[in-house]
Amino acid sequence: MSRVERSPLRYFKFCPRCGRQLRISKVDGHPHLKCDQGDFVFFQNPHSAVSGLIFDRRGRVMLVKRKYNPKKGFWDTPGGFVGWGENPKQAVIRELREELKVHFQPQDLSGIFHDWYDMFNLRYSVYNIYYTGTISGRPRPASDVAAIRWFPLNRLPQKISFSHIRRALRHYRTTHQKKS
Ligand SMILES: [Zn+2]
């Protein structure tokens, strides 16, 4: 399925505020779903997700194996979606506490990478925000994590869940390469 076919423009039918029909109309020059009554515009702005880049003393990166779909059994960076009203730093601390039962101390913003996230036959546009940082405590997998493992950056697993992870790790390698 193409990006357009999975766009909310094709799937959302009714105004969540008053229940009238939603129609595609241009708002500020861009197509958006707008309520017939005019009391609601569905802005399909990107969602935000956060990830922690954590390395051990040998420079290996921590990846977690996804226990559930989408991408069940694939390797992922630990993290998740930013909540309503939450700032990204708070979100990454909360997500890593939930997922690994550790306290994550964010250090630097490593980068922001766009990707698509497919769920329930809809395609979401997502900004993935990466923080490097350190953890205190021994990581233990939460109920949605099948395994936690450290990987050398030049020997990443084949089954990586999303392309932004490879891009984020490549970016990290490029910016942290030792000049020798
Ligand atoms: Zn309405």
Q: Could you tell me the pLDDT band of residue 114, with boundaries at 50, 70 and 90?
A: very high
97: phi then psi, degrees, rounded to nearest 5: -65, -45
pTM score above 0.85: yes
Please tell me the distance between residue 18's alpha carbon and the centre of ligand 1 in angstroms: 4
Domain with CATH 3.90.79.10 in the chain: 47-176
Q: Is 24 exposed, middle or buried (0-12, 13-18, 19+ CB in 10 A)?
A: exposed
Other CB atoms within a 10 A radius of the CB of residue 94 amount to 16
Chain segment 66-102, per-residue pLDDT in tens: 998 888 999 999 999 999 999 999 999 999 999 999 9
Contacts by residues 16-25 (CB-CB < 8 Å, ≥ 24 positions apart): 16/40
Q: What's the gap in Å between 26 CA and the centre of ligand 1?
A: 16
**Homologous superfamily of the 47-176 domain (CATH):** Nucleoside Triphosphate Pyrophosphohydrolase (3.90.79.10)
Ligand 1 (ion): residues with CB under 5 Å are: 15, 17-18, 20, 35, 37, 39-40
Alpha helices in 4-144 (DSSP H): 8-11, 88-100
pLDDT tier for residue 31 given thresholds of 50, 70 and 90: confident
Which range among 32-36, 94-98, 139-143 has the greatest average pLDDT? 94-98
- Give the distance (Å) from ligand 1 centre to CA of residue 11: 16
The CA–CA distances, whole Å, from 54 to 97, 118, 133, 140, 177 equal 13, 26, 6, 14, 16
